[in-house]
Structure 1
């Protein structure tokens, strides 16, 4: 059964996204800028190359990075936590203080000065959290918006096909499009949950209620009151049309 919720909280100060229910839903690597190299800052992965200067394991070369990330699509918890870097020469220019800051990020899931380092030229910091949450720092937030839209499409497609008869063909679902990215970011800043476990189906219309969760993550363990919904995501199976409506006032 598909994951029953999608939670997203966007921190505008740190430019990071805390989410649940997205990673592992999309078959393709959800990164536009595939890293050339990555530094494993908290990971049980044993096939990396140990770097004497930093004391971290590294994955060197884009082909090896792609293989590592694809393995992580099937088993997200094995991805651990990592930060990308451009080249080994610049990596070895990190000061002991900067290395300790990166160690702190892996431990505390937060940064001290900035999540983006000039010497690393990193586009991401990927942090695997407890209970299926991930926290990712994006240099370019549009990447997450595209990933979110793709995950929504794939999630709905899975639910639609759980209702098909045995001999029916798999039904494809049109791509969910974000028409106003700034409005979507405004919604994510609230900390929202798209509750597929409370989805209703009327005729051919699938309706997923949207709830404000903020940082009260424990509230997602129990069903929300329908009266607390601030909006809904809809998909019409007959017309193959999406709808999104919410009110944050």
Structure 2
């Protein structure tokens, strides 16, 4: 189940992140740079306005974009596939070849020459994949690290409050630090899974094991051999403190 693990593989060549289990309950944490407009490239979308030049639906203006992104809170697969763009005028300067490249991205989930277009000035390409995976091209990787940090914090807060009684106030925990998230980037390049289903708790210290999975996507729905753990993501509820330890070449 997605809520029991987080899988991440960071492709440094294409600057994209393939992930599963990254969910955010706050639309402000879904994307830090709210796009001006979106080009919906999956096909069959019932939202947006049809654009004659590209043949794709578009969502115009940040307010409408925010409403659309809100539909993906807690369920990123609802967002289909899209590319952001800065202005309608520049969108309409796309050539037929460039539009065909975008069609290829929507079909093959990969780019031909570059995922970032001068005419679009896009910061993202967002692709919903089967089995609740998402693949997102980021111009700035730190945006993903912020989403990862937020998702880790939400999951741990849920775990910490799992056994609280109905009259007890929910414990609000410290956010997982971005600088610690950045320390995982070498592991993200290999393809890793944080297994919350195998989390252990001792003396109010929660330990989430980290496993190397590479591109073996079928393995992430199984229990891992704990002897093969690369390390731990640790939260000390008594001190409201995060720590981590892992080893990867």
TM-score normalised according to structure 2 size: 0.95
Aligned pairs, number: 249
Q: What's 1:179 paired with? A: 179
- d(CA) in 2 for partners of 1:246 and 1:43? 42
Q: How does 1:92-171 map to 2 (within 5 A)?
A: 92-171=92-171
Shift of 1:167: 1.8
| Secondary structure of residue in 1 paired with 2:154 | helix
Q: What's 1:33 paired with? A: 33
Contact 2:149 2:176 in 1 (8 A): yes
- d(CA) in 1 for partners of 2:188 and 2:248? 11
Root mean square deviation of aligned Cα: 1.6
- d(CA) in 2 for partners of 1:165 and 1:181? 32
- d(CA) in 1 for partners of 2:77 and 2:24? 10
Distance 1:200 1:149, change over 3 A: same
Contact 2:193 2:211 in 1 (8 A): yes
Shift of 1:49: 0.3
Q: What's 1:86 paired with? A: 86
Shift of 1:169: 1.0
Distance 1:215 1:2, change over 3 A: closer
- d(CA) in 1 for partners of 2:190 and 2:26? 24
| Secondary structure of residue in 2 paired with 1:154 | helix
Q: What's 1:206 paired with? A: 206
Q: What's 2:19 paired with? A: 19
Pairing 1:229–2:229 present: yes
- d(CA) in 1 for partners of 2:230 and 2:198? 14
Shift of 1:191: 0.6
For structure 2, list consecutive stretches of 5 or more residues without a partner in the other structure. Answer: none
Contact 2:145 2:182 in 1 (8 A): no
Q: What's 1:49 paired with? A: 49
Contact 2:41 2:57 in 1 (8 A): yes
- d(CA) in 2 for partners of 1:11 and 1:26? 26
- d(CA) in 2 for partners of 1:179 and 1:243? 11
Shift of 1:162: 1.0
Contact 1:234 1:242 in 2 (8 A): yes
Can you list the C-alpha shifts for 1:82-139, whole angstroms capped at 9, x where unaligned?
A: 0001111111111111101101101110000000000000000000011111100000
